[in-house]
């Protein structure tokens, strides 16, 4: 293979962006492989949209280099980067027909009218809206308008597709439908896609790789399974899902498990490889979904679990799930999210909380 075919589709090398005295993106190194969907995930102001805008050519990096298909594009204008872009507000022209909206990017390329008609028709079929060429955007629903924005982005056969919070204006049910739509379309086209969101469910359900960001810095990079199950720090663990954090020290190490004594006196066994030593301060992390509840006289769901008695202090019924807040007998509060049963536990009930050692994680403290 030649060098170009093995290089990443998009590459950032030492990219740094400052607005006045505000640093939006710290030194960022990032490789995005050909044909993958990579999500930049983080809270507002973390730098994810700034990265997308620099890749698009809407912002210039203060330092560093950006490559697309192996070519440095720092000085290449936006209209010469062959990028498809989809934004939160769809950015459709309200007084143009759907055909003219979708064909907009083709008008600046060497495309004949007959070829343009064929490409627009194909793009609309791919987003499952055939035959709407003559309609106006106002005649379509929000979800349909988002599909038109997708058709406009893919009709030019872009090298890279950039998506900035494209689903945040939609209601929850429609967002779920559009997540599947985008995922299926991206796989069908095989187009390299950079997706920006603050929604962890979008990131986890769609991505080949997630870049978790905070304060302009890359906190962790990996597959959805990696960043969710093996968070590298407190921020990643807290941002991706509902986590319980407990301070403690290592109280024993053997070949398979580590024992952790918490400040409240409880002890947890953790199946967590690493070079831990007795007396080392740590933070124990357990996802709310990993705890299981039983009545005190019931056997644990599986052998050798960490088990503690407690009382249901509060609960929120959410249809398919129930969110419980449990106070252990030691006084520690635990958040538990479980599948809703026909008879959920009630506030004030005595229960027993269980979690398997394999579902406990450890973080080093500063």
7-28 pLDDT tens trace? 899 999 999 999 999 999 999 9
Domain that holds residue 283: 242-364
pLDDT of 366 above 80? no
pLDDT of 259 above 50? yes
Q: What is the mean pLDDT of residues 334-354?
A: 91
**Do 217 and 354 share a structural domain?**
no
Cβ partners under 8 Å of residue 339, min gap 6: 320, 321, 322
Looking at residue 164, its pLDDT comes to 94
CA distance 353 to 362: 19
CA distance 360 to 318: 25
Looking at residue 340, its pLDDT comes to 81
Q: What is the mean pLDDT of residues 132-161?
A: 94
CA distance 278 to 260: 9
pLDDT grade for 170, boundaries at 50, 70 and 90: confident
Looking at residue 73, its pLDDT comes to 97
**Do 268 and 155 share a structural domain?**
no
**Do 70 and 29 share a structural domain?**
yes
**Do 202 and 247 share a structural domain?**
no
Looking at residue 6, its pLDDT comes to 66
Q: Which residue's structure tokens are 């006196």? A: 265
pLDDT grade for 108, boundaries at 50, 70 and 90: confident
pLDDT of 4 above 70? no
pLDDT of 5 above 60? no
**Do 248 and 197 share a structural domain?**
no
CA distance 250 to 269: 10
pLDDT of 1 above 50? no
How many other CB atoms are there within 10 angstroms of residue 136's CB atom?
16
pLDDT of 351 above 90? yes
Backbone dihedral region of 102: left (phi > 0), alpha (psi from -120 to 50 degrees) or beta? alpha
pLDDT of 79 above 70? yes
Mean pLDDT score of the chain, rounded to an integer? Answer: 93
124 belongs to a structural domain: yes
237 belongs to a structural domain: no
**Do 293 and 257 share a structural domain?**
yes
- Nearest in space to 191 (alpha carbons), one of 3, 10, 2: 10
Q: What is the mean pLDDT of residues 57-77?
A: 96
Last residue of a domain, which of 185, 214, 232? 232
Backbone dihedral region of 241: left (phi > 0), alpha (psi from -120 to 50 degrees) or beta? left
139 belongs to a structural domain: yes
Q: Which residue's structure tokens are 């991505």? A: 207
pLDDT of 324 above 50? yes
Last residue of a domain, which of 199, 232, 265? 232
Last residue of a domain, which of 172, 199, 232? 232
CATH number for the domain harbouring residue 308: 2.40.50.100
Total of domains in the chain: 2
Full-model pTM: 0.89
Instruction: Give the DSSP per-residue string, 304-345.
Output: T-EEEEEEEEEEEE-SSEEEEEEEETTS-EEEEEEEPPSSPP
pLDDT of 2 above 50? no
Q: What is the mean pLDDT of residues 252-276?
A: 90
């Amino acid at each position: 293979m030649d060098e170009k075919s093995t290089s990443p589709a998009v590459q950032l090398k030492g990219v740094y962006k400052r607005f006045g005295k505000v640093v939006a993106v710290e030194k960022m190194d990032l490789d995005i492989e050909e044909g993958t969907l990579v999500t930049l995930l983080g809270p507002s102001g973390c730098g994810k949209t700034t990265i997308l805008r620099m890749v698009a050519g809407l912002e210039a990096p203060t330092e560093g280099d950006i490559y697309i298909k192996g070519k440095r594009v720092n000085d290449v204008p936006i209209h010469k980067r062959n990028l498809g872009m989809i934004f939160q507000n769809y950015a459709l022209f309200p007084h143009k027909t759907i055909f003219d909206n979708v064909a907009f990017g083709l008008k600046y390329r060497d495309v004949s009218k007959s070829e343009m008609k064929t490409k627009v028709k194909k793009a609309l079929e791919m987003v499952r809206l055939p035959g709407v060429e003559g309609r106006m955007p106002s005649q379509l629903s929000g979800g349909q308008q988002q599909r038109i924005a997708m058709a406009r982005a893919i009709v030019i056969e872009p090298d890279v597709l950039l998506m900035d919070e494209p689903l945040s204006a939609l209601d929850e049910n429609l967002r779920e439908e559009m997540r599947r739509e985008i995922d299926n379309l991206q796989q069908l086209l095989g187009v390299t896609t950079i997706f920006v969101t603050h929604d962890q469910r979008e990131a986890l359900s769609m991505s080949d790789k997630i870049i978790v960001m905070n304060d302009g810095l890359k906190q962790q990079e990996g597959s959805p399974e990696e960043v969710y199950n093996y968070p590298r720090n407190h921020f990643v663990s807290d941002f991706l899902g509902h986590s319980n954090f407990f301070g403690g020290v290592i109280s024993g190490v053997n070949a398979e498990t580590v024992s952790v004594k918490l400040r409240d006196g409880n002890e947890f066994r953790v199946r967590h490889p690493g070079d831990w030593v007795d007396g080392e301060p740590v933070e124990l992390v357990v996802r709310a979904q990993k705890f299981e509840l039983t009545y005190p006289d019931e056997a644990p769901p599986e052998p050798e679990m960490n088990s503690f008695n407690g009382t249901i202090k509060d609960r929120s019924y959410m249809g398919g799930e129930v969110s419980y807040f449990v106070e252990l007998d030691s006084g520690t509060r635990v958040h538990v999210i479980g599948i809703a049963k026909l008879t959920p536990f009630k506030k004030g009930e005595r229960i027993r909380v269980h979690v398997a050692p394999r579902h406990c994680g450890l973080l080093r403290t500063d």
